Amino acid sequence: MTEKFDALSTAEEVLAGIDLHGKRAIVTGVSAGIGVETAHALAARGATVFGAARDLTKAEAAIARVQGDTKTNVTLVELDLASLASVRACADHLAAQGPFDLIVANAGLMGPPLGRTAEGFETQFGVNHLSHFVFVNRLAPHIRPGGRVVVLASSAHHIADVDLIDPNFEHTEYTPYLGYGRSKTANILFAVEFDRRHRARGIRATAVHPGGVETELGRYMDPATREAQRKAIGNTGNWNFVRKNAAQGASTSVWAGVYAPADAVGGHYCEDCHVAETLSGPAASLMGPGVAAYALDPTRAAALWQKSEELVKEAF
């Protein structure tokens, strides 16, 4: 890796000079924010991109705004992550369009009131983890050797480890950010175990934190909570928090998915276009750098995989 990228690098800067013609990618969550920028950056370098979104009209408008006069090859497909029936239908449709070189599991939601998916899963655990677990695994046989999977996580994984006994808050008191933290830890553990299972055939997986980007992800956050979070970020001591735009937020996804050597990022958690330090103790801040050791624990990752298969009633 001869180039040095950082928190302020954009996806287009990371991919500058890279020819992706002949490469095929899938990006979920392309109706707004980081997903749109990720899909556009890949397509602008020549990749054929399939962008998945629940609201195709909204996604089409978002892609058009980013593209401007430069039209790129982004094909939109319908995907509702709150329904495993939709997830399976979309994955089966895309499998027929394969093979693929990159899947970016970008879509998600943060901090909603307690809710349930169509199958009864707590919304954040169901949408952020279980649906991508099914989606990516159904497409895994159609990923070319040398391909990669990038799963968007968050520094919010420092809030909590996964709960394998009560993952859907059936007995535990629910708070929006406890649910979010659990789901983001699940994203990292999924990447760890997927990487272990597939690296022998040359397919690697990594989890990434896009950084502090204000997108529609935070639409459930009330103004008082948002202001409290901003004040907390401003009092993080010796860590200088960097607020990003969506193009900068997409940079680590394409860095890990295209630019960085596969062996450098496979099975790891990345932030600001580098592999994050594994922390032996608690994070200095919930929004601070580094990855909690429990989120990379291979035993925990294998246990979550088994629990996820039980919940979705499908083995991979």
By annotation, the residues acting in catalysis are 180
Distance (Å, whole) CA 95 – CA 115:
30
Can you list the positions of beta strands (E) in 168-232? 204-209, 212-213
Coil, strand or helix: which one is 293? Answer: helix
Tokens representing residue 177 in the block: 């950010």
Residues 6+ apart with CB under 8 A from 264: 1, 275
Distance (Å, whole) CA 254 – CA 156:
21
Find the DSSP H helices in 117-175: 123-124, 131-139
- Dihedral pair phi/psi, residue 172, rounded to 5°: -85, 140
Find the distance separating the first CA and the last CA of the chain, reported in whole Å.
Answer: 34
DSSP 7: T
DSSP 122: B
Q: Write the DSSP string, 215-228.
A: SGGGTT--HHHHHH
- Dihedral pair phi/psi, residue 266, rounded to 5°: -60, 125
The HSE-up count of residue 21 (CA atoms within 13 Å, CB side) is 2
- Dihedral pair phi/psi, residue 42, rounded to 5°: -65, -45
